[in-house]
Amino acid sequence: MKNTTAIFVFIGLIFVGVIIFAFIYLPKMVDANGIGYKNITLKLPVDMTNMRYYGSGVTSFCANKDNGIGIEVKENSAVLAPVSGVITNIYEGPNRIAIEPDTNVSVSVSPVVKLNVSVGDYVNAGDVLGYSEGTNVHFILDNQKNDRYECPFLYLNEDDKNTILNGLKLTTSSTGRICECDVMRY
């Protein structure tokens, strides 16, 4: 009788452990990686030949509570789609274009004028969305699943990461880090 009770208690503990792991720890492990399971690779929203470093240059994610990366550019530079996807919204003032490459993820750039796209259009990474209004382009990655912004630098392809890092070295007001934090809650 004691052996049977011990076996049932042991099996019960294993069952409870599996349930706790499956419903509590496993979802947290997936969310800890941010977008993780989604294979998203971003490109810079501007051509590197249009980037400038003598004013603000490259502004880090989370610097001054900024929810994206700022990139100084020549006036009226072409603004490129950083990812392939559907244009889900064009917010007026400051003309921010939101692209949804996948469910619960939105990538946006602003301010953009002389728009070449409309809501509902499908764009490929590198397509010209419009032109910069002024000399700064703001680049945001919105992880809507976890209600937070994530540092877009973490999802850039290797060449564009190197371009941003080199720009950061030349930026006068830089702290030396492109991601002052990895995520920022809404």
pLDDT tens for each residue of 122-159 = 999 899 999 988 888 888 888 887 788 888 888 888 88
Look over the chain and give the mean of its residue pLDDT values, rounded to a whole number: 80
Q: What is the pLDDT of residues 21-72, one digit of tens each?
A: 777 766 655 554 555 545 788 888 888 777 776 666 777 777 777 788 888 8
Q: In angstroms, rounded to a whole number, what is the distance separating the alpha carbons of residues 54 and 136?
A: 12
Q: Within 13 Å of residue 137, how many CA atoms lie on the same side as its CB?
A: 30
| Residue-level pLDDT at 37 | 44
pTM assigned to the model: 0.73
Token couple for 41: 């690779």
CB-based contacts of 168, cutoff 8 Å, min separation 6: 57, 58, 60, 174, 176, 177, 178
**Residues 134 and 76 sit within 8 Å (Cβ to Cβ):** no
